[in-house]
Structure 1
Amino acid sequence: MDTSRTQTGVIAMDPKDSLGPAPEVPGAKKGGTFTIIRETKISHLDPQRVYSFAGLMNAPLYSRYLTTWKDDGKGKLTLVGDLAETPGTNVNKDCKVWEFKIKDGVKFEDGRPITAKEIAYGIARSFDLDLTGGPTYLQEWLVDSPQFDTKWDFKANKTSLPPGLTTPDAKTLRFEFNKPRCDLPFAVSLPTTAPLPADKDTGVNLDNAPFSSGPYKVTKNTVGVELVLERNEHWDPATDPVRHQYPDKFVWSYGPDQAAGANRVVADNGPDQAAVAWNGVPASLVAKVAGDAALKGRSLLSPAPTTNSLVINTQRVTDLSIRQALNYAIDRDGLIKTLGGETKAQPLTTLMPPATIGFKPYDAYPAGRTGNIEKAKELLAGRTPELVLGAADDSQGQEVATQLKANLEKAGFKIVIRSIPTDARLDEIKKKDKPWDLHLGEWGADWPSGASILPVLYDGRTIKAEGNSNVSLINNDAINAEFDRILALDPSAQADEWAKLDQRIMTELAPVVPLFVDVAYFLHGSKAGGLFVSSVFGYPSFVDAHVKQ
């Protein structure tokens, strides 16, 4: 299988890279209906509220942002201007003032031109606490506070803009920050910057019928049953460096579970010939799909950028040698077999996944694929630490916990498993006073830079009573100072520094045991063309999708 994808990423300096049209996809023709089979509905369609993987892959069909990624599907990424002419100008070279010039010829679905004003309004409405769910980078950065809603009230200021955001003219959007925000070009590639005219803002109801700036528009939404997108005739390919408009329509068809969706695509009948099974290949079908040559050509298999680790609660497990012993003891092979094998997961020994720009492989605690029990015992020096492992109460959570318990007890640990209700797990593991020493954690970065991984997960100054992303609760002054130093560098200079810091955090602090990256494994019908696994989010991308005629 292809596990060799190496991520390279650059910000396009040449404005020509941000021009359309996107190069034609060989063999692609216009026409037909492209179907996406998914078990449940997409949680949000309102761009300012989109943050799920399904939402992030669907939204570019009907929304455009300030910047976006050109992605060759093999790991080569280029950040380009989408609505903006370039990925932004760092006005004083200190990352505190940024300007974006808006392209000519970009329009909404009713033919109105898109200007800086509508993009600014879209960002402003993301401050509305009725419209929760989306990323909060821009909101926090503009008002310099995680409690952004207390600093600027959207409802009370609908005709003005949040502090630091201005539109000097129809073509210019300007950001002014108190601190350097060198990652702004990346952050504005998220749907927060999708434009909206104020007179089209229906508040929470925008979730049912978003207003299009992309190549498609929502024409029908039967919530929980199907979502239909058809061509937006006011989209101009000459302005768009990444998207196409091949199918007449895209249809999200909701209902079938993972196995039923995959089986429909395997059967390859009628409209399902031009379909993809969004929920992936279930473990029960892996052997059949992998062993069938005809299905091999209809499979997408690629390491995804989501990392999974055994999180160590460093406020409870304060002894570094115990945290290091856990790293030596881990049997990644056994764990991956429990999960269903190499089509589900690939072993990981770093904090950042290989899908990160500037990634450098290392293993701070080399113990082979099955662990080094003797080395772990040597570090424990006769101690038998009793650790509480919090595990989701679903079948996979319990299977993984049982495997980890058997593995770690060989090295001399005593492991007590405590169940966490699956639907409450995410909230529970983010609490500061959680009652476990160990639990599983996963992270998918919002853009493929260490900036949206290491400081988010390991900056101790962000720790609060609940809602923590820093779930290991590590807090180290020297490492925190490094975050500030690297974040103030130009993004092009950051990549090497994040790679060095990744290794330093693992070597000096061992706040987690890195376990594996997810593997994306999807099936599509014989007439579904142009699909690839997004190098940013690890799910099928639709920018090149077409129906084979």
Structure 2
Amino acid sequence: MRPRVAAAAGGAIALVVALGACSENTGEGTTVDTNRTQTGVIATDPKDSQGPAPEVEGAQKGGTFTIIRETPISHLDPQRTYSFAGLMASPLFARYLTTWKDDGKGGLVLVGDLAETPGTNVNNDCKVWEFKIKDGVKFEDGRPITSKEIAYGIARSFDPDLTSGPTYIQEWLADTPQFDTKWDFKKNKGSLPPGLTTPDDKTLRFEFAKPRCDLPFAASLPTTAPLPPDKDTGVNLDTRPFSSGPYKIAENQVGVKLTLDRNPNWDPNTDPVRHQYPDQFVWTFGPTPDAANNRVIADNGADQSAVAFNFVPASLVAKVAGDASLKSRTILSPTPSANQLVINNQRVTDLKIRQALNYAIDREGLIKALGGQTVAAPLTTLMPPSTIGYKQYDAYPAGATGNMEKAKELLGGQTPELVLGVSDGATEQQMGTQLKANLERAGFKITLRNIPDDAKLDEIKKKDNPWDLYIGNWAADWPSGASILPVLYDGRSIKPEGNSNQAYFNDPAINAEFDRILAMPPAEQGPEWGKLDERIMKEHAPVVPLFVDVAYVVHGSKAGGVFISSVFGYPSFVNAFVKQ
């Protein structure tokens, strides 16, 4: 999850990839657009970072917009925010150094949010970065936001009591994953971590030991949300964050309801992405996905201007897909979340067996078992289509349902006995049953072994785990090949526990390619990631790509402006409005 992007002088850095972009489902049937071209642009013209955000067609002011979700948002404190729900809620009340303009139609532009631009690479070596802070940006109490409060927000993210948030910037400043041991926030309150300075109220400066061309992307995460020191309530900031965005916390009935009112000190002329259309946003917690979606489908009262944050569950897919009156109230979009049948390369060392697994896979059957195309879209690449640098290919073309004969040919009469570890949650149990039947038709003998759902991720991250296969999922923090391939397949990162490289794949030539591409000018990296994606699969087949998750969302008849975030794959509310 370490993309590398640096701003160049003049113009913009643009990389084009294919993406299944979100769209209103207004046609017959339930189809997902997987052919739209997305542009990912890092803006370098300061005008792109200026406000106000373009008006949303048909948008009106007023009303209450409701978001229904089963479980509470884990953290509201921006420095601790890392869940999808949190990342979608936070932009309503928090601003960052940079942010994404997302048109909901396949266009992404990284722009300055609190900063005038997405950053200046001072010496053109990615080691020193400066951000100039905009005039007119304010907190909810009217005081100006300066570089000092942004720096303080970053500094408090070093506090080991404030865990759960992204750690990119902390690790880069400290030049170690153990950043909280390198610099102690509590002992050094009033000062800043080494490498972070504020030469004046309008300037924030980062100095790194190593090149960090990724900084403009990392700065778009909530780590860079500002906070005045006198408003820092420590762990209690989760209950009531201090607003820098268009809304502020009016009431928080923890675990029940979160109410956001307009922030009168937010200036739309400084904000390139957000609006302030509804009078109020209300997050309500408790209803199951079935109950939440049924409420929105019924379209009564306050639920007319509501969205169910939990996707349409499998139990309701047929009902929603078959109701013509709901077509204009549903959104379908592939997400950046990719799923694989991960092969433990330490245990499955025979390339032909790994290739046979790829030929054998029945993606159509697996997707049908999960609920169909409103739940998942087939994937044959390591990177999902929403990635800058994405290249469409199929290294082991076996059609929609697999090529059993080709798989058997590669096995050469062998009957490999493989252990497939699956969590004891309902979805993976369903997938495990389907995969076992599928692979055994091709000549494998598959033994299913259950792993407690809440322990599975920790267990498969252990280098010496006892499984040959397991189901993996990866959603990058931003749409770059550098945030996927090196993280998942650089063998030099393998350690006894806590591995992101859960295939335990290690090839010196591929590792060298990671270094080569990461050292290139950022604008040239995208296509190289696509080429390397294909090379890894053709030469090594370390996993079996399965599918990308699909967002299937229902909203009320009076809920407007909702789209699926191209970065995080969940409903975005920066354009939301209530139809009057």
Provide the rounded CA distance (Å) in 2 between the counterparts of 1:310 and 1:298.
34
Matched AA of 1:57: M
Provide the rounded CA distance (Å) in 2 between the counterparts of 1:204 and 1:481.
42
SS at match of 2:394: coil
Tell me the equivalent position of 2:84.
53
Q: Is 1:315 matched up with 2:350?
A: no
Q: Where does structure 2 lack aligned partners over 5 or more consecutive residues?
A: 1-30
Tell me the equivalent position of 2:16.
none
Q: Is 1:253 matched up with 2:276?
A: no
Could you tell which deviates more after superposition, 421-430 or 265-274? 421-430
- What is the aligned counterpart of 1:302 among 310, 333, 339? 333
Q: 1:485 Cα deviation (Å)?
A: 2.1
Matched AA of 1:476: D
Could you tell which deviates more after superposition, 485-494 or 121-130? 485-494
Q: Is 1:111 matched up with 2:142?
A: yes
SS at match of 2:161: helix
Q: Is 1:537 matched up with 2:537?
A: no
Q: Is 1:274 matched up with 2:336?
A: no
- What is the aligned counterpart of 1:163 among 184, 190, 194? 194
Q: 1:7 Cα deviation (Å)?
A: 2.5
Provide the rounded CA distance (Å) in 1 between the counterparts of 2:235 and 2:537.
43
Matched AA of 2:325: A
Matched AA of 2:401: T
For residues 172-191 of structure 1, the aligned pairs below 5 Å read 172-191=203-222
Provide the rounded CA distance (Å) in 2 between the counterparts of 1:4 and 1:288.
27
Matched AA of 1:331: D
Tell me the equivalent position of 2:240.
209
- What is the aligned counterpart of 1:285 among 316, 336, 339? 316
Q: Deviations over 1:468-519 (max 9, x none)?
A: 1111111122212222222233332211111111111111221110000001
Q: Is 1:124 matched up with 2:155?
A: yes
Q: Where does structure 1 lack aligned partners over 5 or more consecutive residues?
A: none
Q: 1:426 Cα deviation (Å)?
A: 1.8
Provide the rounded CA distance (Å) in 1 between the counterparts of 2:38 and 2:415.
41
Q: Deviations over 1:187-222 (max 9, x none)?
A: 110111101111111111111111110000111111
Q: 1:434 Cα deviation (Å)?
A: 1.2
Matched AA of 1:43: S
Matched AA of 1:46: D
Tell me the equivalent position of 2:55.
24
Q: 1:458 Cα deviation (Å)?
A: 1.1
Matched AA of 1:437: D
Provide the rounded CA distance (Å) in 2 between the counterparts of 1:343 and 1:330.
20
Tell me the equivalent position of 2:9.
none
Tell me the equivalent position of 1:368.
399
For residues 33-44 of structure 1, the aligned pairs below 5 Å read 33-44=64-75
Q: Is 1:14 matched up with 2:45?
A: yes
Provide the rounded CA distance (Å) in 2 between the counterparts of 1:7 and 1:463.
33
SS at match of 1:45: coil
Q: 1:274 Cα deviation (Å)?
A: 0.3
SS at match of 1:495: helix
Provide the rounded CA distance (Å) in 2 between the counterparts of 1:148 and 1:416.
41
Contact 1:43-1:55 at 8 Å conserved across structures: yes
For residues 396-435 of structure 1, the aligned pairs below 5 Å read 396-435=427-466
Q: 1:168 Cα deviation (Å)?
A: 1.2
Matched AA of 2:148: K
Matched AA of 2:402: G
Q: 1:378 Cα deviation (Å)?
A: 1.3
- What is the aligned counterpart of 2:126 among 80, 86, 95? 95
Tell me the equivalent position of 1:237.
268
Between the two proteins, the alignment pairs up a number of residues equal to 549
SS at match of 1:294: helix
Tell me the equivalent position of 2:512.
481
Matched AA of 1:209: R
Provide the rounded CA distance (Å) in 1 between the counterparts of 2:55 and 2:85.
25
Aligned-residue Cα RMSD (Å) equals 1.0
Could you tell which deviates more after superposition, 283-292 or 327-336? 283-292
Contact 1:181-1:488 at 8 Å conserved across structures: no
Matched AA of 1:182: C
Provide the rounded CA distance (Å) in 2 between the counterparts of 1:83 and 1:50.
18
Provide the rounded CA distance (Å) in 2 between the counterparts of 1:316 and 1:124.
43
Q: 1:268 Cα deviation (Å)?
A: 0.4
Tell me the equivalent position of 1:437.
468
Provide the rounded CA distance (Å) in 2 between the counterparts of 1:488 and 1:44.
36
Provide the rounded CA distance (Å) in 1 between the counterparts of 2:243 and 2:273.
16
The alignment's TM-score, normalised by the length of structure 1, stands at 0.99
Tell me the equivalent position of 2:104.
73
Q: 1:3 Cα deviation (Å)?
A: 2.7
SS at match of 1:178: coil
